[in-house]
Chains A and B, each alone.
Chain A
Amino acid sequence: MNIQPTFPGMMPTERVVLMLHRHWIIGARIFIQYGLIAVVFIAAWVALRSFTTALTDPTSIAYALIVLALSTAFLIWGLFFFIAWLDFYLDTWIVSNERIINIRQKHLFDRVVSEQKLFRVQDVTSEIKGPFAGMFGFGNVIIQTAGEQEEFRFEQVPHPAKVAQTIMSLLESIEHQIGLDKVAKVEGDMGEVQTTQPSAPPPAGALPPKSKEL
């Protein structure tokens, strides 16, 4: 059964075409780093059991202190691991049939969400940099838009060329649906008006990218 992905703030007519996270190999790097730290903790526990008498008497204060310290260390290790995973996993890029949403989680408390209408996309570039990225097939997709935030970057996403191709084909289908040539003409006319009258309100449909919490 294929479940259609959804996200908060999704419009009734909207359909998610791509929901992207960073490539799994980037997540695997986090697992390796924290796995190595866990090995150090386990080695410390084994060394204390093998080479000292501190853990022989379960009623002693030394025993209580070591068990408390190791338990706390494991809990803090788990928390940092979870924060690193959260930081990795909550970087999300959504391409729907109407817009592009760029969600960046920076550490635990910083979160930036920006979006842009798909018909404002001007240029899509995909790049794969380095042998590692080439080997595992991940890279960046750079989307140039006509909005205030000119560039959207999908970072370290799998199959960047396919993603760029999908966005371009979506853009073409939108052009056919709404007649983008007409939209461009209207925007061009409004732009001319704005140059002669600086105090005029911004043209319809020229909204800057919104930043909000989804």
Chain B
Amino acid sequence: MTVTYVLILIPFGLILLGWAIFSIVCIVKMLRFGFLSRQAVMSTFVYVAFVTVVILVGALNLRGVDWTTPYTFTVPGISLPSVQSNLPKTFSQ
């Protein structure tokens, strides 16, 4: 079976979607219920900066990957030597 690398992005994409929803909830809660205090705003800023850095570094590292490269799943097999060629001559009359 042949697929392209882009398929491996699907599970990671789903995880990231869930992560993004929780992140937005957290940021809204922190800003709303933290009464916009200095610590609440600073910690939100640090979180957003951290997330941006991780995503940028990840994207930069994945720049060289060609996502359209086909990948073939192969069934593992054992290639045995040909029995016919190794038979003693006395049997090959």
Residues of A at the B interface (CB closer than 8 Å) are 5-8, 58-59, 61, 63-65, 67-68, 70-72, 74-76, 78-79, 82-83, 85-86, 89-90, 103, 105, 108, 111, 214
A71-B58 contact, Cβ under 8 Å, with A61-B71, A78-B51: yes
Please tell me if the beta carbons of A67 and B61 are within 8 angstroms of each other in the complex.
yes
Q: Which residue of B lies closest to A74 (CB)?
A: B54
Q: Which chain A residues border B5 with CB–CB below 8 Å?
A: 61, 64
**Pair B26/A83 contact, Cβ less than 8 Å:** yes
Q: Answer whether A6 and B35 are a contact pair too, CB < 8 Å, given A59-B65, A78-B51.
A: yes
17 A-B pairs whose Cβ atoms sit less than 8 Å apart in the complex? A5-B37, A7-B35, A58-B63, A61-B71, A63-B65, A71-B55, A78-B50, A78-B51, A82-B23, A82-B47, A85-B43, A86-B29, A86-B30, A89-B30, A90-B33, A108-B25, A111-B33
Interface of A is mostly: helix
CB pair B58 A68 closer than 8 Å: yes
A65 to B5, CA, bound (A): 10
Q: Which residue among B25, B43, B61, B62 has the maximum number of chain A CB atoms within 10 Å of its CB?
A: B61
Residues of B within 8 A of A61 (CB): 5, 8, 69, 71
Q: Nearest Cβ in chain A — how far from B16, in angstroms?
A: 7
- Chain A residue numbers with a CB within 8 Å of B35 are 5-8
Residue of A nearest to B46 (CB): A82
| A58 CB to nearest B CB, Å | 4
Chain B interface: which size bin?
35 or more
Q: Is the CB of A89 within 8 A of B47?
A: no
Q: How far is the CB of A102 from chain B (nearest CB, A)?
A: 14
Contacts of B51 in A (CB 8 A): 75, 78
Which are the 10 A-B pairs with shortest beta-carbon distances?
A71-B58, A58-B64, A64-B65, A67-B61, A74-B54, A82-B47, A68-B12, A90-B33, A59-B64, A7-B35
Q: What are the residues of chain B within 8 A of A8 when measuring CB–CB?
A: 35
A89's contact among B40, B50, B66, by CB below 8 Å, is which?
B40
B36: nearest residue on chain A (CB-CB)?
Answer: A6
CA distance A71 to B58 in the complex (A): 6
* Nearest-Cβ distance from residue B75 to partner chain A, whole angstroms: 18
A70 to B54, alpha carbons, bound, how many Å?
10
- B29: nearest chain-A partner, CB-CB: A86
